[in-house]
Amino acid sequence: MGKQKTIDAFFKKKDVSNSEIRTPVAVETNVNTSMPDEHPSKCPKLQFEEIDRDPGSRKQICEFPIDKQDEIRRAYIEKGPYQPKNIDYPYNDDTHRHRFQPSWFKSHKDWLEYSPSTDAIYCLPCYLFSKKPIDRPRSNAFISTGFHNWKKVKDGMNCPLVRHVGKKPNSPHKITVKCCEDLKNYSRHIDKLIEKQTSKELENNRLRLKTLVEYARWLAFQACAVRGHDESLDSKNMEILHILASNVRNAIREEIGDAKFCILVDEARDESKREQMDIILRFVDKESFIKERFFHIVHVRDTTALTLKNEICAVLSHYNLHIENIRGQGYDGASNMRGEWNGLQALFLKDCPYAYYIHCMAHRLQLALVTASREVKDVHQFFDHLVNIINIVIASSKRNDELQHAQAEQVENMIASNEIETGRGANQIGTLQRAVDTR
């Protein structure tokens, strides 16, 4: 195998050879470069010696390997149609003296090609993108067999060149021209579009992630709860919230340092019927300020005193907070919490005798308000009537539907008058909740 050459060098060689082989009295060969590649640096360096500029002797595109055909097409498009001008074109008969006219290159400069070897004209876009030639000479006239009936070229609107281009925007010729433009437009290739789309998605995802992180950081800084986020096992938000929660807890732990602290604990059942226990730490920081920090929320299997104690100890141990440094306990008045012998406060007193128990002030205030309100006749009657109304509405599906319909109309009217704002998860229609001491 001889020394391999690039496609540019081979084309230069062919331009010279075409003036010597099958070319009638060749003087100069001029190649039209009216279709330059938009990305010449992307033009491939091919190793195919079968490539020929002469449209009458070149191989059909379908004869090249399928994985190299686009490279072949791109190389032909870069060079443009083969249009030798300064040569002596032969007459096709001695009677009528018709021959090819170089002026036709000007009116059809983007696609018309002339073959010196066959004395015929061809269409470069149709050659590059037409399907495999069929056994019909008229269909292949501008692709493989060539056209050389010169006397019909000046036949007005019946000119074969005009008819070949076609009037309709979806003519076969115009479709192949569009294919050439798409192939030249490197930025519209499928791999580039996918790369561009992927880059845009990465940019948007980074923006969303940054917004979520800033949003969660702001809530954490303001000690506000995160509402409406997805906490399912396959949620990507769980990782972000876990990282931020760990950072907050570590910051609280550094704030406490080696100081003594108190624990405030309460438990409640959430909407999913899971028993949750929250842990709050109260301490004096290095600046001698009293701080109260929400530290952790833990799911517990049951609310027995021993279970609660084990879960609290596990959390404190994880952050290297020693039980012997507890100087106070604050719970509600339930028996499992304040029990003198087996309550939670009693279990901690066994390990740390200075962890004095204090009935939670918020729970004591609630008990006082409930007891006082029962002594007020109007308040007592109001809640009695409220319970009856809720029971009547909830017991009937028809009455419940009517209530929700009335709520929906009210929300629509308030939105129309700009009294309330709209948004994801806002203005949802719910049902009535039974009144209890905590509500």
pLDDT reported for residue 227: 65
| Higher-confidence position of 6 and 139 | 139
Residues 13-63 pLDDT 10s:
444 434 333 333 333 333 343 433 333 333 344 554 456 888 888 888 888
- Selection from 70-79, 151-160, 298-307 with the highest mean pLDDT: 298-307
Name, of 108-122, 131-145, 261-275, 308-322, the range with top average pLDDT. Answer: 308-322
Neighbours of 159 (CB within 10 A): 15
**Rounded Cα–Cα distance for residues 221 and 430 (Å):** 32
What mean pLDDT comes out for the span 130-140? 62
Mean pLDDT of the chain: 80
Taking the model in full, what pTM does it have? 0.47
What CATH number labels 259-375? 3.30.420
Domain residue limits, the chain: 7-188, 195-257, 259-375, 377-439
- For residue 304, what are the contacts with CB-CB under 8 A and spacing of at least 6? 336
